[in-house]
Amino acid sequence: MSNDNRNAFTEQEKQGLYRAIHERRDVRSQFLPDPIPAEVLARLLEAAHHAPSVGFMQPWDFLVIDSVEVRRRVLGIFERENERAAQNYPGERGETYRSLKLQGIVESPMNLCITCDRSRGGPNVLGRNTIVETDLFSTCLAVQNLWLAARAEGIGVGWVSILDQHELAQVLELPQDVYPLAYLCMGYVSEFLAQPELQAKGWRSRLPLSELVHRNVWGKALEPGDGLAPLIK
């Protein structure tokens, strides 16, 4: 069987894609004050808008947030929820948690909220009859598209997940059916860390892929003679 694939990218193009995937980081503390040029931001939004979506519903909207007042209100939500979350980790683990910087809401030159309109496409969307959460899944793909494109542009992105979504929706004046799925801090950075910050700080390590790949059914590992087995670390 021929391995010739005329639809594949060139080796250089593939290397660029895989580099963006492996070097993407959740950025929190390396932001520079330089603004993101409008043409660059437009490219990132275009990349996000070209994400796949179930039933082609395209449930996302993008709120570009440069208002310091709005960001300070969001920061207030984070600070309260972060302190509440810290109560989950007693002792030394709690001290480590409090030492982590988990947002760059004000330090970054801009924030972006990617929302999911849960009513878009009407009551019956192709492919959504059984799994109604596919609108949320689709919006997550838009986030990933933007994140990888941002890495290729040298722009850091940090997802702030320690927020009360109902209160955030009020601050952003969202309509009732619009859910604030991802609140992102964005900007050029002084560096991209060699490994994820939580891994570098000893919070968690990357799981071995070899423990996460199953063959046919859950719990059945790859056979030693399987051609895939020696390639999975």
Overall average pLDDT of the 161-187 stretch: 98
Based on the fold, state whether residues 31 and 107 are members of the same structural domain.
yes
Based on the fold, state whether residues 65 and 134 are members of the same structural domain.
yes
Measured between alpha carbons, how far is 139 from 206 in angstroms, rounded to an integer?
25
Residues spanned by the domain of 224:
202-233
In a domain, 168, yes or no: yes
In a domain, 178, yes or no: yes
Other CB atoms closer than 10 Å to residue 48's CB: what's the count? 23
pLDDT of residue 2: 53
Residue 213 has φ and ψ, to the nearest 5°, of -105, 125
Measured between alpha carbons, how far is 195 from 25 in angstroms, rounded to an integer?
8
In a domain, 11, yes or no: no
pLDDT band at 103 (very low <50, low <70, confident <90, very high): very high
Helix runs in the chain, H state only: 11-23, 38-49, 68-86, 91-99, 134-152, 165-171, 197-200
User: What percent of the chain stands above pLDDT 90?
Assistant: 94
Based on the fold, state whether residues 220 and 113 are members of the same structural domain.
no
pLDDT of residue 178: 98
Contact assessment for residue 146 and residue 48, using Cβ atoms and an 8 Å cutoff? yes
Measured between alpha carbons, how far is 191 from 204 in angstroms, rounded to an integer?
21
Joined tokens for residue 73? 């209100």
CA dihedral defined by 27, 33, 34, 35, rounded to 10 degrees?
A: 80
pLDDT of residue 3: 65
pLDDT of residue 233: 85
Based on the fold, state whether residues 186 and 208 are members of the same structural domain.
no
Measured between alpha carbons, how far is 198 from 88 in angstroms, rounded to an integer?
17
Overall average pLDDT of the 32-54 stretch: 98
Based on the fold, state whether residues 188 and 220 are members of the same structural domain.
no
User: How many domains is the chain partitioned into structurally?
Assistant: 2
Q: Side chain identity at 154, as an amino acid letter?
A: G
CA 138 to chain centre: 12
Based on the fold, state whether residues 137 and 227 are members of the same structural domain.
no
pLDDT at 188 over 70: yes
Based on the fold, state whether residues 56 and 80 are members of the same structural domain.
yes
CA 125 to chain centre: 25
In a domain, 130, yes or no: yes
